Chains A and B, each alone.
Chain A
Amino acid sequence: MTRLRKLLATIRLPAISVLVALLVGAIVIMLSDLEVLGKIPQDPLGAIVLGVQRVYLAYTSLLMGAFGDPAKFGKAIAAGGDAVLWAKAFRPITETLLASVPLMFVGLAVMVSFRTGVFNIGGEGQFMMGALGGTIAAIVLGGAGLPTPITILGVVALGALFGAAWAFIPGILKARVGASEVITTIMLNYIANLFIFFLLVNWELIQREDRTQPISKALDKFVVIPTILPIEALRLHLGFIVALLLAVVVSWFLWRTAKGFELRAAGLNLPAARYAGMGAASSVVIAMLISGAIAGIGGAFEVVGTVKQLTTAISGGVGFTAIAIALVGGTRPSGVVATSLVFGALRNGGALMGLNTGIPIDLLFFIQALVIMFIAAPSLTQRLIRSPFKRRVKEATA
């Protein structure tokens, strides 16, 4: 019982933040609907009804896109063991899980750095570099005809290596000369993008045959990451398991090892860490290496397992979503996993919302920004929720 209460207390602020952000999103949907706006002068009530209808349609599409259509589940149950119908019913859920995979990786990566007091906003670049490493490994090892498990190991290893290398630069610069990791990681995000663009149009090894656009060879020709569900059509792959395992490993590392203890101590109170005999500078570098490696593995799985080709759009803003995820998840691995699932559901459901109602998925970025804001300014959030009640109380007493 107390555990449950504790859990509720932990998720209260994140949950409220997400809900309020969705509410603001609803208002934005209404206000950006010119039909609704146009109706206000003649028929204000009708306008509100129409607006609410639109929001309802949007958010129900979002939910169905994320978790599936009850009707389809009904059909599948009625038909019994028809694998195709079951696949159709389950597909939204598995796609949600798939969408949450890169978020988990980068969310964990950013979380580790935040825990050490390093504001790594270079998850984007580290993820891209990991994707590049994964692409190279897939083409070279898969192309050489090595067995799939070995190729996959190579993909993960090179992804981790590339991501870690990219994160090493801001890490060592911060530790040695105190260069702000915020500035260096922002710049490195752009450099990673340009670097990959450059390789995609200049390096025959990875460039797609007979194309001048920045796109890599189709990677499924070289290696296929095995899916983990019995039904072929469901794309959820090994990366999901690896992400969950990594969450456990990160949790174990931070709370069960001496090194992890040092990193957390340095993140919370640098003078005290120094007093207790820990090396503060090395903590920064180690945290960045771990952070970059995890983001890199995420990039490698995303490119080889899900998208199956490398383009400069591979990251799709995942580095920024990861900041939201790390903060909403209370910088805990379990929280990051849970939040990634929620954000993955939003991402995946957003696609159906766009299809059904024409409301662009980009709204979710705005909602993410609001979520970060509500989490980062808890007193503001309290005010927003409480102020209507407070006012009433004041009136009553006056």
Chain B
Amino acid sequence: MSTAVMSAVAESAEQRAALRSARIRAVIFLLFTLASFSAASAAGAKEAIFSFWIDKIGGKDIILTFPIAVPWLISGAISGAIATLQFLRGASFRWRAAIGIAAPFYAVATVGALLDGTAANLTVLFTGTLNYAAPVAIGSLAGIISERSGVLNIAIEGKFLLGALAGAVASSLFGVAIAGPIAGLLIGAAVGLLLAVLGLRYKVDQIVAGTIINIGALGITNFLYLRVLQRYPDLNQPVNIDPVTIPVLSDIPVIGNIFFNLSPYFYVAVLLVGFFTYAIFKTRWGLRLRASGEQPSAAGTVGVDVIKLRYRSMILAGALAGFAGSYLALSGTGGFGMGISSGRGFIALAALIFGAWHPVYAFGAALIFGFADATQTLLSILGVGLPPQVLLAVPYVMTIIVVAGLIGRVRGPASAGRPYEQG
């Protein structure tokens, strides 16, 4: 057998695997189609009664009534189309984007089905989703930047906690709103630097280093809360960062309430995701960042200082995560509380894996996770539907399915976690 033939065989082995995952995805989409149609027929004539606040929360509302079967049918049709395209196009099909198109219809259908005829106002469901997604998206962005540079980052949770505490205290001390986010940013950057020193200089295993930060942050924030903040409550009276009303746009009925009356963090998150998507994929900085995470020797031999780049990325990632953490204490939650991040740093980690280390997809994952969370809140307020734990487990279960590689290999930066010796 000639070498050329051999290499063709070897290539096709990899392609076969990709094709197999593509087929599995097509089958999954097909199952979704069937499930949607059967849900539609099971729903029969049962109606969803949704309402939305028109101009302000608690003001006048508009009531939408439609058969639950309708969104199921639409979802089923879209899934069917996706399944067909997935089958025909194989591995090259952009299925993450396709999920993005189907997701809103599934969201409506699922909520309708779970409510099972109970009337519900959904404005808060959507704002809840978006607000939840803001810190998670920024947290995953932090993870993406550090892992794209080649340093594993499981310490987002710890940075969230420290950012929240620092934000609450600084905001209370200085009495200006902007002090909180800035303090979060600074402490996050400091933690990022510590992680970088441990991992890059002292060659501490990057998982161990992240674990150190997570445990240490939990311990020190709880400690300071109990020892200082409880005794001196003045230090935990931050200036809340309230939702901002965007002129003109917020006056659009229904939509304005949902999208244009949110925490500034959300808009910052959108801007950051947009900015860094551009920076990572379109700029010189991004090119070098990705090179040092994938194949640091390729960057090092053309004169890129990989170690310096990783240091900077870690500090930037820390700053972003600390900034996101400050949100948790400053968004009308009454300041810092023990364990305030409640695992959202790990959900950010989940979002970045689910989003395949891409800021936009990670944002999408954060929205899906946020929707699961907001739905759970809505259902438990109304006292209907699924046990809340099922929805709360969604991010964790989805992440395990993704890393198990069943629906297609997600490939993280190839060299993340490996120390690089320059020269």
Contacts and interface: CB of A to CB of B under 8 A. Distances in A.
Asked if chains A and B come from one complex, the reply is: yes
A212 B225 CA distance: 29
A372 B387 contact: no
B393 A177 contact: no
B154 interface: yes
A177 B405 contact: yes
Interface string A311-332: 0000001001001100100000
B216 A190 contact: no
Contacts of B405: 177-179
A173 B213 CA distance: 26
B240 interface: no
A32 interface: yes
A363 B397 CA distance: 32
Given A187-B396, A365-B222, A373 B346 contact: no
Interface string A171-211: 00100011110111011101100110110011000000000
B202 A177 contact: no
Given A372-B211, A377-B202, A186 B219 contact: no
A195 B198 CA distance: 35
A272 interface: no
Nearest to A177: B405
A369 B215 contact: yes
A173 B154 contact: no
Contacts of A180: 403
A380 B202 contact: yes
B213 A28 contact: no
A195 to B, nearest CB: 7
A376 to B, nearest CB: 5
B232 A188 contact: no
Interface string B392-408: 11001101100111000
Given A180-B403, A182-B207, A373-B204, A362 B387 contact: no
A13 interface: no
B207 to A, nearest CB: 5
Interface string B95-114: 00000000000000000000
A90 interface: no
Interface residues of A, number: 49
A290 B226 CA distance: 38
A323 B403 contact: no
B396 A190 contact: yes
Nearest to A379: B202
Contact of B404 (A173, A360, A366, A368): A173
Nearest to A373: B212
Contacts of B212: 369, 372-373, 376
A119 B403 CA distance: 16
Nearest to B405: A177
A281 interface: no
Contacts, number: 137
B216 A365 contact: yes
Interface in B209-258: 209, 211-220, 222-224, 226-228, 231-232
A109 interface: no
B144 interface: no
A360 B208 contact: no
Given A184-B400, A190-B346, A379-B202, A195 B389 contact: yes
Interface string B349-392: 11001000000000000000000000000000000000101101
A368 B227 contact: no
Contact of B205 (A32, A370, A376, A379): A376
A187 B209 CA distance: 19
Contacts of B353: 183
A141 interface: no
Contacts of B211: 121, 320, 323, 372
B403 A184 contact: yes
Contacts of A177: 404-405
Contacts of A380: 198, 202
Interface in A333-360: 358-360
Interface in A355-398: 358-360, 362-370, 372-373, 376-377, 379-380
B343 interface: yes
A71 interface: no
Given A179-B405, A366-B216, A194 B392 contact: yes
B173 to A, nearest CB: 13
A360 B390 contact: no
Contacts of B393: 190-191, 194-195
A353 to B, nearest CB: 12
Contact of B346 (A32, A34, A186): A186
B204 A368 contact: no
Nearest to A187: B396
27 contacts: A28-B220, A32-B223, A173-B403, A173-B404, A179-B404, A184-B400, A186-B154, A187-B346, A190-B343, A190-B393, A191-B396, A198-B390, A320-B215, A323-B208, A323-B211, A359-B223, A359-B227, A363-B219, A363-B220, A363-B223, A366-B215, A369-B213, A369-B215, A372-B212, A373-B198, A373-B216, A377-B204
Given A202-B387, A376-B202, 19 more contacts: A33-B227, A178-B405, A179-B400, A180-B403, A183-B349, A183-B353, A184-B403, A187-B400, A188-B396, A188-B400, A317-B218, A358-B227, A360-B227, A362-B226, A364-B219, A365-B216, A367-B219, A373-B216, A376-B198
Minimum-distance CB pairs A-B, first 10? A365-B219, A369-B216, A366-B219, A362-B222, A360-B226, A377-B202, A187-B396, A198-B389, A194-B389, A369-B215
Interface of A: 28, 32-34, 119, 121, 169, 173, 177-180, 182-184, 186-188, 190-191, 194-195, 197-198, 201-202, 317, 320, 323-324, 327, 358-360, 362-370, 372-373, 376-377, 379-380
